[in-house]
Structure 1
C-alpha cells in the first residue's frame, strides 16, 4: 500500500454508511482493465422487464449487513466494451436498485454487461439480450453463492455503470468482508504464531479503509467508488485469496481502528523498514507531518538487528550500467518538466542530504549538461531498473562506482528496507509477533501515541 495519508475526520462524525448508493451515480473513468472469464454452458434466462419478486432470505441478510455495516465500494475494472459476469450458484442481475429484474441464473454460465451510448444491457452467448437501459445494473448472489468477475470470486454485490469509455465494475460489500480479500495480500503471514501481526495488519487496514469509506453518507462518491483494488489503495483479491487464519484475525478485531487524540488515524504501511521508519515528507510531497508518524527504531534488543531482517528483501543491491544511468537522467529531466529530457552521461552521483530516518532526501546527478537534483519523493521512480521496477527504498548508500572516458560507466547502490517506510513495517510486525508482542503493542510502536478502539 503506497498512497500517502489523508486528514482524518473527527471521531464524533463517524456514522454507518447508508446502503442506497446507486440511485443516481455520476461516474469518472478509472484506469484498470479486467479479464473476462471463460464461457460456460447456458442456463440463465433474461427476465425482460419483469417486476422484482420478493427478496430471498439470503438477500435480506445481505441487505441487512449492508445497512448495519460500513460499506466499501471497490472498483475492479473499467474502460471495457463489456464486462463478463457469472457466479458459483444462484444469482440475478437487477436494474436501478432492484426495481426491475433482468436475468436470473443457477450456475456459472457467463453473461455480459455491455455499454453503448451511455446505456447498458445484459447479453448472453446464445443471442439473448435485455433492452438497452440507463442502469446501473446490480448483480446479486443468493445463499452461499459468490459472484465471479475477471476470473475472481467476490462477496457482496457487483454494480455495473456506463462510463464514457465502457463499463465500470464496482464491488459493493461490507468493510469486514472487504478486509478478508485485503489482509492476505498485504501481509505475508499465515501461521497461527503470527496472529498478532495479522491482527495488527487488520486494524491498520481497517483504519486506512474507514478514512476512505465515510459513514453517514446517503449517496455514492461522485466518482462512484471509494477504493481501487491495487497498490494505489490496498491490494484486494476477493474470495480466492482468503485464508482461515487471516479471517479469524479479522473477526477477532472486528470494528477496531487506530486513534490519536480521539481522531481516526490514516495508517500507512509497507513491507520492511530496514531498521528505522520514516516521516511522511520523506516519501510524499505536499503532505502534513503527523505526530503519530515519526521515525522509530526497529531493532531487536536480543539480536541487535532489525525485527524485519526476516524479510527476504530487507537488504538489497541495485546495479546500473552506463545506458541505465543515462536513462535515469532522461527520467529525472522528464519528472522535473524539462522541455528537452534527453539522456546524458553522468559524471558524478551524490547524496547531499538525508532525512530524519537516514533516508536520502535527494540525489544529485552531475552531467555534461549540468547538475540534476532528484527529490526524495521521486528517487524510487526515477531510478528504475532495466525491467522497470522502482527502487526498493530511499534508505541506501553508494557502494561502488565505475568510471571511464570521464564519466560513470556503472553505479552500485546498497540499501535496506522495501517500501516507503512510513508507518507500520509489516515484516517488523511479524518479527515482533514472533518475539511475543501483541497487536496493540505492535501498533503503538509503529504509530506512537495512538490507541486501539472502536470506530462507531
Structure 2
C-alpha cells in the first residue's frame, strides 16, 4: 500500500512539473504569409507608357492562372524588347517617345506610329496556324505580325488614323482578294511588343488579365536597365499608362529590401534583426496598394526595394538565416516600426501618434549615442518659417514666437505653439516634422531657441531661460500685468546702466536628438548592439517590449 502511495505521489509530482512548464504557443496566422508578393515598381503618377525588358535566355509572355504561369508567346533573343501601350509613339534617336497625336496631328511625320491596325484573314486556333498563314503572305507592302486577342490573328500596320488605314486596306484587297481585310481600332487594354529596332513582334490583349514576362530558364529579368528576380507584370488600366509589377518570392523580395534599409556592410546580427523586422512589416502592409493590383510599393511608403542590383551578400545571408522567423506580441504579428537613431531613448507610440501599442514603449538606448544624428540642429529664419506656414495654410500673420508647451516624459515634443500678430497655431507631435520637413526637424526630441537676447532666471529653472515678450510680466504702479506678445524690445536697469533688451527674433534654432519617429528599433543602436555581441533576437526583444521570435 505504501509503495502504491509513493508511486502515486511521484506520478502527481511529474504531472505538476509537466503542467508548470510553459508551452511555446505559435499564435499568429501562418496563412497570412504568402510565398510570393507583388511589388509595384511604377504606378499612379510614376506609371509609364513604355518599358524596355530582356532576359538572359529570352522571355515568355503570358499570364498567371491559379498561381500557374500560362505562356502565350516566347521571344528567344536575349536582346531587350520594347513593351508599350497601344498608342501613338514617335521614333527619336533610336528610341521612342509617346506622341500626343490628338493635340499635334502631324500626318506628314513618317516616324510616328499609331494604334490603328489592319487584320488580314480569319482568326486561328493556334500560334502555329497563324504563323503559317503569315508566312504565306509574301507580297505584303508592310510587314505583317502576330496578334493574340481572343485568339490568334495576323495584323499589319501601325496607322495614326482610320483614314490612313483605309488607304492601305484598298491596296491589300487588290493584292489578296481571297482574304477578308478589316480595320482594328485602338484598345486601351492592348500592349505592343517591339524589337529593339522597332519592328513589331506581336500585339497582345488579355482584357482584365495582367500580362507577365518570365525569363526563359532563369530567374532574372532586366527592366529599363535594372535587374529583378522573379517575373515582371504589366497591368493596363483603361486610359492609363503601364503599371509595372515585380512578382517575386517573399524571401527574395527581402534580399532587395534589407540592404536598402540598412547598410549591407553592417554586422550580420544587426541585419538579421532588420530582416525579421522587414519580413514582419511586409506582411502587415500587404494590401496597401490593392487598388493598383499589387501588394507593396518599392518606396518608403512601404519599404524601399531596389531589386537584384541593390542586393548584398551579407544581407542575403541575414535573410536566409532568419527564413520564416517573425516577431510576435501576445501571439500576433507585430508591425515593427523602426528608425535611424533614437538619440538615446525610444518613445511610447501614443506620444508620436495617438494610440498606445503594447510593444512600442520607450526604452533607454545608450547604443545610439555617438552614432550619426544622435544630436542635430536646424536654423530657420523668421521669413522662412512664415513662408512655410503660409504654404501649409497655417498663417499666423507676423511671427512673434515659437514655444514648446508640452513634452513627453522622455523629452519629445507633444505640443508646440506658434504665435503671430493675427493667430496662434498648436502643432502636435509629428505634425511639427510634417510641416517643417522630416529631414530638417529630424525628430520631435528638440528644443527651440532664438537669436533674441532676452533671458531670465526664474524659480522653476536651474539657469537662464530664453523667453518671448508674451511670457514676460512687469510690476507697474497699477499692478502686475503681462506684456503684449508683439513687443519687440524693452529698456531695463541692471543696477549700473540702462540696457535695450530685444524680443524681435530673426532666427529660430531647433536643437534635437535622433533621426526618425523614435518608435521601436533604432538602426544605429542595433548596429552597436551587434558589435557588442548581442544576437538578432536580443536586439529585437530589447527594442520591442514583450515580444518574442517565432
Report the TM-score, using the length of structure 1 for normalisation: 0.75
The residue aligned with 2:116 is: none
Alignment match of 2:318 (pick from 237, 249, 257): 249
- The Cα offsets for residues 168-208 of structure 1, whole Å up to 9 and x where unpaired, read as 111111110000000001012514xx111111110111111
Relative to structure 1, is the Cα distance of residues 231 and 371 closer, same or farther in structure 2, using a 3 angstrom cutoff?
Answer: same
Deviation digits for residues 403-424 of structure 1 (CA, Å, limit 9, x no counterpart): 8686431101111111111111
CA shift, 1:92, in A, is 1.9
Find the partner of 1:205 among 266, 278, 302.
278
> Distance in 2 between the 1:76 and 1:407 partners?
50
Equivalences for residues 184-263 of structure 1 within 5 A: 184-191=259-266, 194-213=267-286, 221-263=290-332
The alpha carbon displacement at 1:448 in A equals 1.1
Could you say which residue in structure 1 is the equivalent of 2:428? 375
Give 1:102's aligned residue.
73
How far apart in 1 are the matches of 2:217 and 2:83? 22
> Is the 8 Å Cα contact of residues 176 and 250 (structure 1) preserved in structure 2?
yes
Residue in 1 that maps onto 2:120: none
Q: Hey, what does 1:141 align to over in structure 2?
A: 215
CA contact (8 A) 2:327 2:547 kept: yes
Quote the residue 1:438 is aligned against. 535
* Higher Rg: 2
CA distance in 1, matches of 2:258, 2:198: 40
Q: Contact 2:28/2:333 (CA < 8 Å) preserved in 1?
A: no
Unmatched 5+ residue regions in structure 2?
1-25, 88-186, 454-487, 490-502
**Distance 1:400-1:343 versus aligned 2 partners, 3 A rule:** closer
Which residue does 1:360 correspond to in 2?
413
Give the gaps of 5 or more residues in structure 1: 1-9, 18-68, 215-219, 300-306, 335-340
CA shift, 1:144, in A, is 3.6
Aligned to 2:360, which of 293, 307, 314?
293
- C-alpha deviations, 1:17-72, integer Å up to 9, x for none? 6xxxxxxxxxxxxxxxxxxxxxxxxxxxxxxxxxxxxxxxxxxxxxxxxxxx6221
Partner residue, 2:256:
181
Once residues 58 and 356 of structure 2 are traced to their aligned partners in structure 1, the CA distance between those partners, rounded to angstroms, is 47
Q: Verify the 8 A CA contact 1:345 1:407 in the aligned structure 2.
A: no
**Backbone CA RMSD of aligned residues:** 2.4
Kindly indicate whether the alpha-carbon contact (under 8 Å) linking 1:83 and 1:167 is maintained by their aligned counterparts in 2.
Answer: yes
In structure 2, the residue matched to 1:273 is 342
**CA distance in structure 1 between the partners assigned to 2:439 and 2:328 by the alignment:** 35
Shift of 1:352: 0.5
Aligned length in residues: 367
Aligned to 2:265, the other structure's residue is in SS state coil
- Alignment TM-score, normalising by the size of structure 2: 0.62
Residues 281 and 129 of structure 1: is their aligned pair in 2 closer, same or farther, counting only changes over 3 Å? farther
Alignment of 1:385-396 (within 5 A): 389-396=439-446
Q: Secondary structure at the match of 1:369?
A: coil
Q: Equivalents in 2 of 1:383, 1:81: separation in Å?
A: 32
1:113–1:160 contact (8 Å) kept in structure 2: no
Structure 2 Cα separation of the partners of residues 130 and 402 of structure 1? 71
Q: 1:115 to 1:309 in 2, by over 3 A?
A: farther
Correspondence for 1:113 among 84, 87, 90? 84
Query: CA deviation digits over 1:315-345, x for unaligned, max 9?
Result: 111000122111232245x2xxxxxx55732
User: What SS does structure 1 have at the residue aligned with 2:362?
Assistant: coil
CA gap 1:421/1:150 in 2 versus in 1, 3 angstroms = farther
Is 1:14 paired with 2:30? yes
Name which structure has the greater RCO, CA cutoff 8 Å, separation 6+.
Answer: 1
Do 1:316 and 1:416's aligned partners in 2 also have CA atoms closer than 8 Å?
A: yes
From 371, 376, 381, the counterpart of 1:321:
381
CA contact (8 A) 2:446 2:511 kept: yes
